[in-house]
Amino acid sequence: MQIAIPIILLSTLVLAAFGILLFLYLRQEKMIFLAEKLPKNHVFNFPGDVEERFMKMESGETVHALHFHVKDPKGIVFYFHGNAGSLASWGQWASVFQEHQWDVLMYDYRGYGKSTGWIHNETQLHIEAAEIYDKIIPAYQDKRVILYGRSLGTGIAAQLATLHQPESLVLCTPYFNFDDAVKYNYPLVPVSILLKYKFKTNECLKQLSCPIYLLHGTEDELVPYESSVKLNKLGDNIQLTTIKGAMHSDLIDYPEFREKIEEVLI
C-alpha cells in the first residue's frame, strides 16, 4: 500500500500535465490571435480617400481590406498588423505613410474584423498574403512597393518578401522567430513541441537582398529587443534602429521612429 500511493500520485500528476499541455495545444489559436470581429455594417471614419475591399480567396473565404489612396502616390505600403484588434484600430496608422504620399493597403486576417473564416494554421496566412499581393499589385506596376510588418505581422511580411523582393522591408518590433517570442512570454511551456506557428523570420531574412529596416524599443515587454539585435546580425542589408525607452506599443511617440520611417519613404 505504501508503494501504491506514490505510483497513483505520479500517474495523476502525469495525466494532469498531459491534460494541461493538450489544453494549450488546442487553445493556441485563441491565445495567439486576439481578433476583434466587426459587423458588416461597421462604418470606418478615417480621413481621406479610403476604399473598402472584399477579396475572395481561393479558399472560399473573404478577406476585408482598407485601401488608403493619395493623389499621385509614390507607391504602396502593404501593412501587416499585429495579433490583436482589427482594422477599426489599426487603420489610424495609415496616415503615417499617407503624409509622405504613399498609398496603403491594410487587411484583416481571417476571423478578424469583417474577414470570414478562422485561422487554423500558419500556411493559410502566408497563402492569403500572397493572394492579396497578387490582386493589388497590378495597379502599381510602375510604382514603388514596401512591405511593412508590425509585431505578429512581421513574420508574414518577411515570408511574402521572399516571394516578391520589395523595394524595402520594414519590420517593427519583430521576433527572431515565433518559437523565440513565445518562449520569452511562457518560459515553462515546451514551445517547440506544442507550437504550430513558427514564423521563421530569421530564415526569411537570409534569403533577401533588399534593404531591411528593423525598429525596436529597448523596453519592449512582449517581443524582446534582443530579437532585433539577433536579426540585425544576419546580413549587411539589415539596419536596426534602436529606440531607447520605447515599449511594444508606443514607438510612434518617439522621434527616432518617425525620422526612420520618413527616411525609408522619402
Domain spans in the chain, listed from the N-terminal domain onward: 1-32, 35-265
Find, among 204, 203, 183, the residue nearest to 193 by Cα: 183
Q: Rounded distance, CA 177 to CA 262, Å?
A: 27
Cell numbers describing residue 212: 531591411
Q: According to the model, what pLDDT value does residue 161 have? A: 98
Q: Which CATH number fits domain 35-265: 3.40.50.300, 3.30.420.10, 3.30.2320.50, 3.40.50.1820?
A: 3.40.50.1820
First to last CA, the chain: 78
Residues of the chain where predicted confidence (pLDDT) is lower than 70: 1-5, 9-26
* Residue 237, helix vs strand vs coil: coil
CA 263 to chain centre: 22
Find, among 199, 249, 197, 240, the residue nearest to 220 by Cα: 249
* List of residues 6+ apart from 94 with CB closer than 8 A: 46, 50, 66, 68, 79, 104, 106
Q: According to the model, what pLDDT value does residue 1 have? A: 46
At 78, give phi and psi (nearest 5°): -90, 120
pTM value is 0.91
pLDDT in tens, 17-48: 556 556 556 678 998 999 999 999 999 999 99
Q: According to the model, what pLDDT value does residue 112 have? A: 98
Q: By the 8 A CB rule, do 148 and 77 touch?
A: yes
